[in-house]
Amino acid sequence: MNRARHDLLLTLTQGGWHQQSPVTLIGAAVMDMVVSAEALPQRGGDVAAQMQGFHLGGCALNIAVALKQLGIVSRNLLPLGEGMWADRLRGEMAQRGVHSDLAVGGEDNGWCMALVEPDGERTFISIDGIENRWQTAWLQDAAPQGGLVYLSGYQLGSGGGAVLLQWMQQLPATVRVVLDIGPRIDVMPDDLLQRLIRPGVLLTLNQREAQLVGDGRGY
């Protein structure tokens, strides 16, 4: 391990640092049903699988948990609705010391089945819930005056995405947007991507997503 990495790890683990900017997380909280299988089924086929359990899911919620573990304070705007999944989310989040400032009604949260292959690759089947029904009223007084704002592409590409996009475009220049586009980038309309991928926005991409962004469509 080189000296710089060693010093960074010591700083993180011994608390010799302090948070310099506010962090706001905009996205989803869902429950993941994790299932392992030797291979994905073909269309019309059937495969044997093993249930691995339920875990907290949603990109923004995963980041909220990680930030909590690092001692970083974040404002979490993750819609929590009413129903079986919402109740389970609240309980599991409370155990980790994570909460959401966005309690809403009228619908339950969604859930996701994650199919895990032997090499660790995950394939998802997602059932939408309240986390994708964004409303303008939910975001009143939510815009920070500075710091970092994380936005998930899952929600920006959902039925309520126009609300989030409008809110994002009205953020002051002192806010740095971190955009996690996600695997649905290939089904996002080109005009939406052109409005999202702009100077000043920090993208987080895996290899597949980076290839799609750089495939010559001009983003």
pLDDT single digits (tens) 45-101 = 999 999 999 999 998 999 999 999 988 999 999 999 999 999 999 999 999 999 999
Q: In the predicted model, is pLDDT for residue 188 greater than 60?
A: yes
For 193, counting Cβ atoms within 10 Å of its Cβ (0-12 exposed, 13-18 middle, 19+ buried), the class is: buried
Output the pLDDT for position 133. 94
Domain 20-30+57-110+129-213 has CATH 3.40.1190.20: yes
C-alpha–C-alpha distance, residues 167 and 179, integer Å = 14
Least confident of 13-27, 80-94, 129-143, 170-184: 13-27
Output the pLDDT for position 218. 45
Does the predicted TM-score (pTM) go above 0.85?
no
HSE of 153 in the Cβ direction (CA atoms, 13 Å)?
A: 22
- Across the range 147-170, mean pLDDT stands at 86
Tell me 95's DSSP state: H
User: What percentage of the chain has pLDDT greater than the value 90?
Assistant: 51
Phi-psi bin for 50: left (phi > 0), alpha (psi -120 to 50), beta? beta
* Domain ranges (residues) in the chain: 20-30+57-110+129-213
- Here the tokens at position 136 are 């303008």
Least confident of 12-16, 29-33, 38-42, 213-217: 12-16
Average pLDDT score, the chain:
86
